[in-house]
A and B are shown apart, each in its own frame.
Chain A
Amino acid sequence: MSRIIDIFEQSLKKSTADQTELVCEKEEFYLTRFAESRIHQNIGRADHTLWCRAVIGKKIGVAKTNILSQESINELVKTAIEICSQQVENPRFTSLVSSPKAQQTEGFYKSTAEYSPLNRAKAVKTIVDIAGQDKLATSGMFQTSTTELVVANSLGTRQQGKVTEAKISITLSDNSDRSGFAQAYSRDIKDIDFRDVANRGVQKASRPNKQVELQPGTYTVILEPEAVADFLLFLGFLGFGGRGMFNHRSFMADKIGSAIMSENVTIAEDPINPVIQYMSFDYEGVPRSKVVIVEKGIAKGVVYDSYYAHLNNVQSTGNALQPDNSYGPYPKAMVMDAGDKSLDEMIASTGRGILITHFWYLNFINPMLTTVTGTTRDGTFLIENGKITAPVTDMRISQSMLEAFNNVEALSKQRRLVPKFGVLMYVPAMKIDNFNFVSLA
């Protein structure tokens, strides 16, 4: 890390741009994949990505490389300046940002960083053995990784941080209809109980009774945390970022202060939450901060990087993405408030409904109405008279996510950390009325 800072200092001194920003993301990544109860892919990777954003007046140039040396970074700065010189001015751009030192993140655990390939394989074997007792085949993935981020700019910003991640997900199945999904996530590998993950998967795959087909229509559903996270991720991409607010493509546009969800729903971007332990600053070096997005159903705010913060006359919330992104900021660490019921109590209070473990291949039908389609997967069950009575053949949904979050009858006390596509979410299970299924999957 100090080597990178030293290289950045030299290159910043040499830069002829009005403003210069250098970013390095370094990754040591291991992932074990398994299927048919054996390991079929098992990888390690050491990489670093380096960006330079050069500013001349209101012209911006971004260049990227993964070649880490003083010479290469000097060349990267030159390339970014060259791009600048050929650019057209962006009148909306004001400046890079000068940020105070971010509080050191606590999301780094040596236990995760040093976890060996053999330990990963042994953990997988534990799960395979447990599943095998129920004649279930195991598939899944188990990742341990370390990410370091360094940001330095010519306005004096200097940030560096390091976090680890351990995540495992499994699907247990056999040649019949039985299947069950389970996952776990922690910064510290020591917090993951592989037997618990295996047992949760077995429990889902081993529900008694034959699978039943339900007619398409409207049902009460209970979404387990992984299914809630599927929806929340899409809501975050679509509506909780400053770009959508600026160009009115967000469902939050013109809705701040209005009720958009049920009163029992509170959502925040909360990267400093001790359960989340996200990297404490963003790719511009701005310290990440807590942002209340929806409070008791009322739209409160969205997240920003410096560019869209300026355009919306607010402060950056520390949600800048990589310098070469064109997507704009979105939440990376969302926390939903818990409810007051256990999952069992939520099931017991349901006369007839469907318990959904998670969704597959959600995609927008109408982004402005937040309508998505997708299917249920690997753990869908019929609830009758407060009890789970049978597995259900997977079904296709067509549902406005906002409407679903506006029909929330109950949330669970227990929450789970769910990582999806680089976004970490800490969410409860949710009981939702009037959920729309359009066909069998």
Chain B
Amino acid sequence: MDDVKKAGMIALEKAVSAGASYADFRYTYTESESLSYNNGAPESVDESLDKGFGVRVIADGAWGFCSSADVTENEIIRVAEKAVEIAKASAILQTKPVELAPIEIYTDSYISSFNVDPFKISTAEKLQYLAYLDELMSQNEGIKYRNSFLDFRKINKNLLSTEGLDIHQLIVQSGAGVSVTAMRSHRDRARRSYPANEGIFECKGYELLDEVDFENNIPIICQQAVALLEAEPCPSKTCDIVLDGSHVSLVIHESIGHALELDRVFGGERNFSGTSFATPEKLDNFKYASDIVSVVADATSPHGLGSFGYDDDGVKAHESDLIREGILVGYLSSRETAKRIGKLSSGAMRADGWGNVPIVRMTNTNLKPGNLTLDELISGVDDGLYMQTTSSWSIDDTRENFQFGCQIAWEIKGGKLGKMIKNPTYGGNTVSFWNSCDGIGNRSLWRVWGTPNCGKGQPGQNGRVGQGAAPVRIRNVKVGF
């Protein structure tokens, strides 16, 4: 059916007549293009179209969801009825009916900000750009492997509900990145990437490529990769560390963002992604971090990969406090989870495409910038390490104990950067780590870093989220695992 609104009305009417007390209809049509280059040759050029719809219902006080790629009237009716059948099956274990926090009802259209539609740029031009990046990387003869990629997505999404929601959104996202590997032997190699481990992803159009300084930074990472082969390994000790913004993004994501997903807090991910130490009785009284740490969830961050107009509950995008001056003051929530703590939804209910049910996800989890320059952060360390660019990460299922690694580090002695260190790693506890943060980079060092591949849920859903981050300084961290 070409008329999405009509399709939605059929679904909602059928769901209600089958016994649903609440129903929503979500349709998405997504265009994707990804291109990669590998050692002087295109590795892949993929274009993709994906469309379908999902019907989510509450019947007999329980949730049901069904979806299909076949957007025809007969299938819409089948799917709506199946969603209600599934909900009624769920109800045999429902001790208390699902309740939703109230929302404002909108009829609206949202378009993310972009200048150049990447789908209007030819594949040839995109490949030419990757060839240019590859050429830049090939200038350093010490580099054995060169990889680069471009990634574009255009999402058209409609949400209608029995409460009267009627929302259309058009979101354009772009991504790009390079990585180089130097090697002395097959088992002795060093990798560097730019701008971050996973590249850069934002809600922007093709203009993103003009804003990333590949030209000046590719020679730097190539030199660093070669130099890392001769660098000393990370010492095992306890010391102060300064982390670059792209890596702080990961730390926020793993130790704050995921920890404050309210479905996880209630045990909704107990069997898979785990739970959280940040349980509801800690709200408004728990010292999560030092006084200089404030974190917000902000789905309105300009160009943040986790930005949108409305979440998949129909909640209008807004900023909400998570940590204020070190104190836990909020969660990422949905209408259902927020209701359980007597709050309104933070607007974080998001589904991966039409075929998945919305779950609580990060939007843009932003650490508010501080007031220090990078030099000031480093000069405050007598003995420590400055680490850049994520290489590995692991955190336990309650989001307390973690071990992270970076691609490169430099020793800090007497407030000055010293020799290069390879394979730097560090570990710690979320709460003691963030309470040991005594310096945050200023606004000029701050940006929202996109994470294009956040995994959560069963079946696995891929989330596109962002983290606002600047470099930070953390005292007394165990390094060198």
Mostly, the A contact residues are strand
Q: Which residues of A contact B423 (CB under 8 A)?
A: 365-366
Q: Which residues of B contact A171 (CB under 8 A)?
A: 270-271
Report yes or no: B47 in contact with A41, Cβ–Cβ below 8 A: no
Can you list 25 A-B pairs with a CB-CB distance of less than 8 A?
Answer: A31-B458, A39-B62, A39-B93, A41-B65, A43-B67, A44-B66, A44-B83, A45-B68, A46-B67, A62-B44, A65-B48, A67-B49, A68-B69, A117-B85, A118-B92, A171-B271, A324-B48, A326-B44, A361-B395, A361-B397, A368-B189, A396-B401, A396-B403, A439-B403, A440-B401
CB B369 to nearest CB in A, in angstroms, measures 29
Report yes or no: B50 in contact with A65, Cβ–Cβ below 8 A: yes
Q: Which residues of A contact B85 (CB under 8 A)?
A: 117-118
Please measure, in the bound complex, the distance between the C-alpha atom of A324 and the C-alpha atom of B268, giving whole angstroms. 33
Q: Which residues of B contact A88 (CB under 8 A)?
A: 41-42, 127, 131
- Tell me the A372-417 residues at the B interface (CB within 8 Å): 373-375, 377, 394, 396, 398
Contact with A along B274-301 (1 / 0, CB 8 A): 1000000000000000000000000000
Knowing A66-B69, A122-B92, A254-B186, say if A41 contacts B393 (CB, 8 Å). Answer: no
Knowing A83-B47, A173-B270, say if A396 contacts B127 (CB, 8 Å). Answer: no
Size of the B side of the interface (Cβ < 8 Å), in residues, is 77
Interface status of B357 (Cβ within 8 A of chain A): yes
Report yes or no: A41 in contact with B397, Cβ–Cβ below 8 A: no
Report yes or no: B48 in contact with A63, Cβ–Cβ below 8 A: yes
Mostly, the B contact residues are mixed
CB B403 to nearest CB in A, in angstroms, measures 5
Q: Which residues of A contact B75 (CB under 8 A)?
A: 46
Interface status of B388 (Cβ within 8 A of chain A): no
Q: Which residues of B contact A329 (CB under 8 A)?
A: none
The chain B residue sitting closest to A375, CB to CB, is B396
Size of the A side of the interface (Cβ < 8 Å), in residues, is 84
Q: Chain A: residues with CB nearer than 8 A to chain B?
A: 29-48, 61-68, 79, 82-83, 86-88, 90-92, 116-118, 120-122, 124-125, 128, 137, 139-141, 143, 169-171, 173, 181, 247-249, 253-254, 324, 326, 360-366, 368-369, 373-375, 377, 394, 396, 398, 421, 438-441
Report yes or no: B52 in contact with A66, Cβ–Cβ below 8 A: yes
Knowing A47-B68, A169-B271, say if A375 contacts B401 (CB, 8 Å). Answer: yes
Report yes or no: B459 in contact with A139, Cβ–Cβ below 8 A: no
Q: Which residues of A contact B451 (CB under 8 A)?
A: none
CB A324 to nearest CB in B, in angstroms, measures 4
Knowing A45-B355, A361-B394, say if A86 contacts B93 (CB, 8 Å). Answer: no
Q: Which residues of A contact B43 (CB under 8 A)?
A: 326
Q: Which residues of B contact A121 (CB under 8 A)?
A: 89-90, 92-93
The chain B residue sitting closest to A369, CB to CB, is B187
Report yes or no: B44 in contact with A45, Cβ–Cβ below 8 A: no
Report yes or no: B63 in contact with A40, Cβ–Cβ below 8 A: yes
Q: Which residues of B contact A361 (CB under 8 A)?
A: 394-397
Report yes or no: B65 in contact with A42, Cβ–Cβ below 8 A: yes
Contact with A along B59-103 (1 / 0, CB 8 A): 000111111111000010001001101111110111100000000
Report yes or no: A47 in contact with B394, Cβ–Cβ below 8 A: no
Interface status of B445 (Cβ within 8 A of chain A): no
CB contact between B51 and one of A46, A66, A87, A139 (< 8 Å): that residue: A66
CB A249 to nearest CB in B, in angstroms, measures 8
Q: Which residues of B contact A374 (CB under 8 A)?
A: 394
